[in-house]
């Protein structure tokens, strides 16, 4: 399923319902698109710099020539040549900037497709090869108005405000071989502080600071009550079965006869670390299935 580059550039989202294998192939293609975009963005960035330096040099040369060349005829020809060169350099500079911005648009957030690919490979081991998964994967940045959840006064700085953002950038749904249905999602949390600050010179300057709050991962399993119904016997002890990496902590755990839901937060300093995300998701699945397997044995 080749990626529609034009549509992908516009939406920066990937939505699909298909078996895992072709989805992983698409993620490989997305990675290649991103790699090419990174290279092209750097290439056109360098070109823009060279064109800009050319513009500056041309302007300097025009000033110098106009000052020191006294032959009017010769001066006229030189100025015409320099002006033509200057126009060409300005056009080249604008062209380079436009292309740099175009490729910058698809220079996407790497850890999102990297962690998604690893998670899907892990999940596929316990799924039918032909079973479909539903995937919604967004590469949009979090600082967008549509992801703003609230604006509050700054708790310390008078006149300052705090914008809170949250963006669910991935949602995966599927069915395991044991007929357990799963849903996994990850939501990035961020806040932006901004306001006017008076400097040492007495002038007021607008300041802003954005920082990560963390990454919330939610996992829910919906299972057969007949297969795993005994979970209700020890659902109060389920918390002790959840083992997470050091930089992740449990936020919520809910158990019923038919489902179990787990919410975990990854620390802000590793919220964009694909290895930490993968390890946390793996630990969440292993922890819940440890409980379900015990419930299955008791159910028998």
- DSSP assignment string, 33-81: HHHHHHHHHHHHHHHHHHHHHHHHHHHHHHHHHHHH---HHHHHHHHHH
Determine the average pLDDT of the residues in 31-41. Answer: 93
Q: Of residues 110 and 206, which shows the higher confidence score?
A: 110
What residues form DSSP beta bridges with 175? 181
Determine the average pLDDT of the residues in 62-78. Answer: 76
pLDDT (0 to 100) of residue 291: 81
Residues 237 and 128: their CA atoms lie apart, in Å, by: 32
Determine the average pLDDT of the residues in 182-209. Answer: 87
pLDDT (0 to 100) of residue 49: 95
pLDDT more than 90, % of the chain: 58
pLDDT (0 to 100) of residue 10: 83
Q: Where are the domains of the chain?
A: 40-105, 109-299
Q: Of residues 232 and 286, which shows the higher confidence score?
A: 286
Mean of pLDDT over the chain: 88
Q: Would you put residue 253 in left (φ > 0), alpha (ψ -120 to 50) or beta?
A: beta
With a cut of 60, say whether residue 295 has pLDDT above it: yes
pLDDT (0 to 100) of residue 242: 86
Give tens-digit pLDDT for 131-152.
999 999 999 998 888 999 999 9
Q: Which DSSP symbol is given to 201?
A: T
pLDDT (0 to 100) of residue 144: 87
Q: Of residues 237 and 188, which shows the higher confidence score?
A: 188
> Of 222, 213, 270, 221, whose CA–CA distance to 246 is shortest?
270
Give tens-digit pLDDT for 220-275.
999 877 777 677 776 666 777 789 999 999 999 888 878 889 999 999 999 999 99
With a cut of 80, say whether residue 75 has pLDDT above it: no
With a cut of 90, say whether residue 128 has pLDDT above it: yes
Determine the average pLDDT of the residues in 169-177. Answer: 96
pLDDT (0 to 100) of residue 300: 58
Residues 30 and 110: their CA atoms lie apart, in Å, by: 10
With a cut of 60, say whether residue 1 has pLDDT above it: no
pLDDT (0 to 100) of residue 224: 79
With a cut of 80, say whether residue 298 has pLDDT above it: no
pLDDT (0 to 100) of residue 234: 66
Give 87's contacts (C-beta < 8 A, 6+ positions apart): none
pLDDT (0 to 100) of residue 156: 84
pLDDT (0 to 100) of residue 238: 75
The model's pTM: 0.84
pLDDT (0 to 100) of residue 197: 82
Determine the average pLDDT of the residues in 47-71. Answer: 86
pLDDT (0 to 100) of residue 125: 93
Write down the number of H helices and E strands in the chain.
6, 8
pLDDT (0 to 100) of residue 257: 79
């Amino acid at each position: 399923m080749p990626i529609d580059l034009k549509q992908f550039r516009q939406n920066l989202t990937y939505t699909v319902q298909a078996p895992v294998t072709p989805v992983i192939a698409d993620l490989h293609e997305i990675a290649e698109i991103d790699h090419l975009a990174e290279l092209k963005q750097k290439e056109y960035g360098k070109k823009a710099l060279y064109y800009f330096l050319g513009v500056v040099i041309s302007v300097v040369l025009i000033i110098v020539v106009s000052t020191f060349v006294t032959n009017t005829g010769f001066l006229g020809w030189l100025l015409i040549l320099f002006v033509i060169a200057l126009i060409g350099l300005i056009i080249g500079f604008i062209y380079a900037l436009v292309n740099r911005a175009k490729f910058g648009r698809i220079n996407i957030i790497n850890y999102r497709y990297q962690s998604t690919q690893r998670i899907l490979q892990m999940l596929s081991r316990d799924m039918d090869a032909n079973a479909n998964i539903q995937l919604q994967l967004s590469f949009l940045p979090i600082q967008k108005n549509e992801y703003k959840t609230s604006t509050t006064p700054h708790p310390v700085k008078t006149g300052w405000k705090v914008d809170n953002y949250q963006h669910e950038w991935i949602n995966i749904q599927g069915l395991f071989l044991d007929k357990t249905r799963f849903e996994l999602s990850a939501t990035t949390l961020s806040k932006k502080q901004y306001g006017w600050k008076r400097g040492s010179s007495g002038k007021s300057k607008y300041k802003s600071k954005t920082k990560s709050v963390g990454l919330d991962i939610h996992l829910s399993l919906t299972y057969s009550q007949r297969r795993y119904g005994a979970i209700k016997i020890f659902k109060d002890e389920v918390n002790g079965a959840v083992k997470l990496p050091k930089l992740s902590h449990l936020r919520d755990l809910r158990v019923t006869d038919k489902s179990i839901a787990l919410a975990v937060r990854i620390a802000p300093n590793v919220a964009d670390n694909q290895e930490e995300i993968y390890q946390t998701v793996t630990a969440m699945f292993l922890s819940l299935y440890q409980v379900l397997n015990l419930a299955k044995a008791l159910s028998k």
